[in-house]
Structure 1
């Protein structure tokens, strides 16, 4: 029996009697139950274990009243006392008790910590020497990112071995996590500060992992350098909660990785490798550093699903790779995700260039009415995944009225209005709510309620995860566990009552959020709606609509407008006037569903600009032609949606009767060269002028003024004109810095631009890249204040050219520039010297590189140098000593393209890379050109159809075979063009079970979808058979 002390606790209970009481003392057990211990007998045993001798009991006695009071205020008093005892057992009890009784902050910290988070209590038990550190004032304050980095650097100073560094990093992470968690639990930091510190902690860990990876890889391979010879770096871009500075205690981190430029390393112990491989190895090393579990645990789980192509995509892309992906394949959900993109670690210059590119991709001027419906559909998919699991109610992240509904509502508003209002471009959701409210996009009361709701829901999420460091978002079902969660949320009632109070408040807040979400995304009638009746389901079905329900919804949106953009009265009247003509035009359309969907997009984009709708109402033929354009798909309508003012130019069809050539397009685009425009204004003007001309080209094709081949020739001429304007600007920008390059006689060193692929062959379509390379005349030095060699000047000029045409700005893209077919490709500079061109292709080039020259053509720059380059290329292909084509290598290359790019299945065709597709025709043609072009000059044509005519004239295939081959090529080009105009992603993919076969059947005038697919299979089988003959296995 322990000796009794006479000290008493406040409230009349003899606190010290608890320390001296027998294990079965009923009075002591009742007292512990009274203050909130759920298992008072176990609690009494813990108190005895905490003070195993009378000496320890004497040490704790003065602090017992405070200890009992703090336990009573703890969310889980039993867990808190149990963790206190376990911590004391890690060392000498007397020293521990002297510390906690002497420091006024110790018992409150340990009671709250131990009753809130088992994983943080376990962390402190594992590293008990951290307790004095946690009790220091300088520890328990907000730490900035550079302070965290300095703390890690100091911890690493004595360690060199990778294994030791890994463990130091893990100890650092858990030490800081413990500090951040204690501040949160004690109320010393609010939600915003807590998530900011957690996010910066992740940034510092990412920076360390990248630094170690770079150190090892540079020793092995040297420094990655770009084409100009300058080093190029890697940037880690945070997405999701990491990017929004909203990280939880058990969040995965969602980074994407980007590097500056392709090229090659400078060389090291293991030689040289391509930059892409260097940085891919770096990413794998970063992942291993963060995710591997050692005796000290892991650092962070890493989720890379937000990278391009998700799990199947490359670990890292260059800036140019991201630019092409955003231009060609990225979808709305990726724009939404990139709202949160933030630089976390690595090269800040690369990050700045990436984020600048992202801004133009994410935020676009004008309203895009597709955003609301697509965001709503994404949320509906989440809802469907939760149904039947009781998670729709209990999941605070994804469920009804949860965090995701707040985020989707906020992000939809940002996507809708952020293009025109830069103040809305905020990564953090809570700050974005404040900005939207400040600007009037959210009503003040709703903005305040949503902000409070988000703080509440995030706090619930934190309290769920802080218990055991589990990544959970689901409220517990068991009443006791729910009561403990409620107490962790500050509802300090007995667990059962706390649970009831918590559930009532949770229901109120999630109901408020869900109502706001539902009202925002509902297509409610707007003021001023036209009093016009919408045709019935039966009537729409009878007049050719495949989906009458969707058609009725779209017609309602046309009549009433979006809830976010109600029509003014004048707009409603204009809609009422044009509505009968619209219905008639839709009924006559070959694809009324698509035509209506795209027309609704245009009307929504026009918004309050009633003049456009009045123009359509006044000119029924224009409305009919617009519906015809809308029926051809999303890509065409996108041109009008981005610039509704272009409708004025389409009001006079006679202006489109004449085709245009390069010089005429050049005159149209010359306004981008006007003085007093800054760089951004020039780029935007060039894009808008290009889009206006592109719309005219498409309009001519729809009006049958030109055919598909004429359309491609005009698109190529437009590209040549845009290239000429951009090259002028690029040379001017580069010369401002360096002057112009001159040879040793003082004469200008010229440059020529060579087009390849479809650009070289005059076969461009909407959305085509420009494959090209630049050749400069020879050695020289610039004459400006900052002198550089000619190759540096033209490297910089080509880089500027690529950005002028290909960067995504608020006005979109002019033409993406693809430099991958240049001599030397990734390992070379952007420009090539003329005297080195022939040597490269004769001595170093792979067979496929020589094959690309069959489509080479001068497309810009100095004509004289261009003619010389053309002679060199013809000599390489057809002159004395030109090697014959390696048909086995060609076939192997074609096989790889078919497997890796075509990826055909029984239910999916690939028009370009699939069996019997466009590439088969091109390989047939190019093989015959390279075999026989030396003897038959008519084969030396960059255009595929012209080359086929040359093959027929040379008798290399029969006239009938050449005619059929040309027919198949035209057919495949029309299918490819149709898919592009439909906005198909990924391009040239034909899903058998999707809607496109039927749409193509209508466009190409087949009796049925089945007839089109049968003819597609027949034609591609014929092409493949001829390919097998010309390029035999």
Structure 2
């Protein structure tokens, strides 16, 4: 802070100084503090600032000089308070007053007086620390909240006893419970809403409260309330609530404590002041409105028994946070903001820094909208704190970290400004001052020397908030109307909202330019007449009626409009009962356009979205949807998602894994169809997804088994003595969208028992169960399907072999018993998860086995025989005019067999060709070693890529890997010629 202040502020300080010295019984005290105060070296500067800028602090200091002296000498102006400090302060004050009166208890008037004196002292202290910037904005709001909590807690302790004396003590109405059974006396639960619930009170906040009590019943006479008459618990807690409001809110000669607002309770001002838990549950279940959910985001119990608080939370949380993605909340919040804007215009309050454009309320709306939409699936967002919610949104990449920082900076600036406005006179205002002194005060405290500089920074923050708010809450009806006006003059809404006839639908689709209108018209008509649509409640039906015209209009402009519309309509049919998804598409034109693009381009994507509508969430963020993630990013993403799941909740962990696989596969497909990434990267990304999931699954399975059996001696989750091998497409880094995972499990093979768990089993059994658990986690069909199909047939001895082998047993099998085709498969094997040291041992073993000298002629014969056997047993009979990309002569498998033969035949002289497990890099290595010419290698690589690219495209259309027999003729001839050259050598 500067040591020289604006003239008006300095003049205000001088007046306060003179008044204080005249009122204080010891004027020398302050003079001494101003010249010598080593414990508080900035005291003189802070005093000039506070008495010059805050009329409230100055007036209270003048009115009660001894109070101000006590605040200064206690050191409390220089230290933070904890929640316990506030409770201690109010309780000591009440106890001291009882002792001074020589009374056992206080009456309501005495309580009210002491609460107000408590508030006066602590309010002076908080304003002092806030204006002098000894306290940050979050610290100020926390302490104001804790002061309110302490006042409520202390008041209830006194007032509950007083009410029991008058009416008896409240107990459950359970007929089976007698007084002798001494069932616990009921206590009132106070739910703080709004800023108090979020621990974000400002310097002159109302406190929004809801009162509740656990169960209906009647009061009873007890040893501590012998004179009470019997009344219902409802009457008891209503009386107690009235007393609490009066203790806090009533204006007396000492002022007030907090203004209490009860309008957020069920039924508002016309509702009961207090309700039982059952009545609250019934209300929110049957009549709770969207704006009440918005309010409940910041709800927090500040008084009540811990068990009662947990019980009420279980009632309110499902009402507040839907289990699905709740995009209907956006529309409700939009309506709420419209009504606020109308009220602001009516009252001329557009410059209000809280409610006006770009103000505090809009930042809260932005954050709470995300919380309502996503909080049901993301428990990290179930927080009343705006700061923690913003942090979680950025952590989950729902908003950019730069947006989080800018929103928070704007919020801090606006809240600091609000505190200055209110701390000047301890009044509830958010209006900027028009007088010069007020402007000097605001600019100075917020950190500017000139009012114009402050205004410029304020406007910059508000402009940014407005832009974010308008992007989020833009009315889709207006956007949709603009889009339709630019396309044609067809009335898309009337054909659906009126009762349509099939002929009318057909005519409309023909007019709209649909290429196969008859089939789509019949599909639309069938949906409209279906029991599912007829039976919809009013709200989901209105959402459907709003969405369908937009869908039909948007699909009309696509290349294959009839097929695209059919796919999208099938998806809409699947989510009729989960109308939040209808809202997502109706509210978010960008999401709808992305859905059309994906469904138009791929029937596989359309099928995935229809089967698992939860993936629609991915359509919200086009930047994320069309960006495939690196392996490191994928690992961090899955780790973050798993943080929200309890370690022992295997079922939910499996659901997270399935969503992770499907959502990221959808991203890869979106990048594939838009050609953001080339073929080789498509397989890379799909393989990374699988590797990340397998690695995490090993960890999960290990943790679950360790809890039951302990761990094999010398092992841990970091060094499990266990590895997972990927064979086939996984090992070759060539996964497709529908690929199975060919896995083999190996362990170190140390004999012994597990230790550290409730039960001990031998190590071999532990690892066998570890393998079983991994397969279970990955392949069990849950409501979200299976993560992957798992194929274990490539393990030693196939289906008849052990599920998990030791590395030593694997080596013995490969050296003594493995068939040639099994060593061919080993060419494409690699470690995809597990302990690095054991992985290194396997890599050495693999290379040793592959480099064994072999009789090339025998090898040729066995490879050729295996190829013919595979073509006969695994190849589908080719349809007339069709060519199988995989099994056809000159196709994918021929290239893979040639590569595998080359590794087995030549790697004992050329170890480098046994290093890789993927076909492309092996072909490159063969050319580098001179075993193939550069031209031969390049031609085979080109053919392999072209085949696989076509295969990916066919998978996205849910089609077999077959093309017209006239396609790829040159590639097939080249591969066939190379095969003949390689296998006809003597």
TM (normalized to structure 1)? 0.47
- Report which of the two structures shows the higher radius of gyration computed on alpha carbons: 2
TM-score by length of 2: 0.50
